Amino acid sequence: MNPKSIGVFDSGLGGLTAVRQLRRLMPSENIIYFGDTARVPYGNRSRETLLQYARQDLRFLRTFNLKAVVIACGTVSTNCLETLREESCWPITGVVEPAVERAAAVTRSGKIGLVATRASVASGAYERVFRRADPALEVHALACPLFVPLVEEGRYRPGDVVIETVAREYLTPLVEAGVDTLVLGCTHYPLLSEVIGGVMGPGVTLVDVGAEAARACRDLLAAGDALAERETGSARFYTSDRAVNFQRLAALFLGEEEPVEQVDIFQY
């Protein structure tokens, strides 16, 4: 039993898809979330910049009494996870390993698609972990840089002509490659599940990396006998840009409105 909180961070709102799953799987846990909306998107940045941002995000989280951290950002997980793990005093869960585990388990054809930010795809991290899981898997990785800004603009609903067009344009090569499993390698993308599923077709299983990271975090805490035992946990949300903007969109990701506080991340 461990009453400390779970820290979660992302470049912006996408990581809230992981928070939703964490709350569903572990309703007793306290969660501290930081979304770096002042510097979103992370997806086109260099590893050096990503490391600098992620270290600041973690320094902010360190001001709370934590027992574990979830990096609910595909871009930081793919580029910086090992370094951040070496530097950190808590167990850190990223999104890559849990998602690969799930995709490798559900694929029947062995052909797996991956959509993610440019920096995530360029890192090759997913391919490396897939190769370790099963060298026979065929992985088709594709950067979809327009998805995050469109989601952050609220353009993610089926029927929205902009997102429908962009999704079809990006995803057609994966449909043609015949993948039967598609890893949504960025935590913003679950909001696009319906649009992406519509293009890929009903035979393709979508893997939500935030949900898989939440599951892995739960397993990790359970294995270390570190789950909380209170009846209901709480969640606190922090953002580096205007709280009202974050709050309005956060409700879409979380399914309910929550109070949000702005922090000056440049101080950390």
Catalytic residues: 73, 186
Residues 6+ away with beta carbon under 8 Å from 124: none
Q: Does 9 bind ligand DGL (CB under 6 A)?
A: no
The CA angle 220-182-116, to the nearest 5 degrees, is: 80
Q: Which stretch binds ligand DGL (CB under 6 A): 21-29, 34-42, 84-92, 195-203?
A: 34-42
Cα angle 152, 153, 158; round to 5: 100
* 126-155 positions binding ligand DGL, by CB under 6 A: 148
Question: Using the rule CB under 6 A, which residue among 7, 35, 74, 113 binds ligand DGL?
Answer: 74
In terms of CB distance, is 10 or 29 closer to ligand DGL? 10
Which of 7, 14, 94, 190 is the binder for ligand DGL (CB under 6 A)? Answer: 14
Binding test (CB under 6 A) with ligand DGL, winner from 42, 53, 60, 246: 42
Given the complex with ligand DGL, which of 43 and 205 has the nearer CB atom?
A: 43
Cβ contacts of 219 within 8 Å, gap of 6 or more: none
The residue nearest ligand DGL at its CB is 43
Question: Which among 197, 192, 194, 114 is positioned nearest to 151, based on CA atoms?
Answer: 192
Task: Using CB atoms within 10 Å of the CB of residue 174, give its burial: 0 to 12 exposed, 13 to 18 middle, 19+ buried.
Answer: buried
Tell me how far apart the alpha carbons of residues 4 and 9 are, in angstroms, rounded to a whole number. Answer: 17
Q: Does 10 bind ligand DGL (CB under 6 A)?
A: yes
Residue 96 and residue 75 in contact, taking contact as beta carbons nearer than 8 Å: no
Which stretch in 55-63, 130-138, 166-174, 186-194 sits in contact with ligand DGL by CB under 6 A? 186-194
Binding residues for ligand DGL (CB under 6 A): 10-12, 14, 40-43, 73-75, 117, 120, 148, 186-188
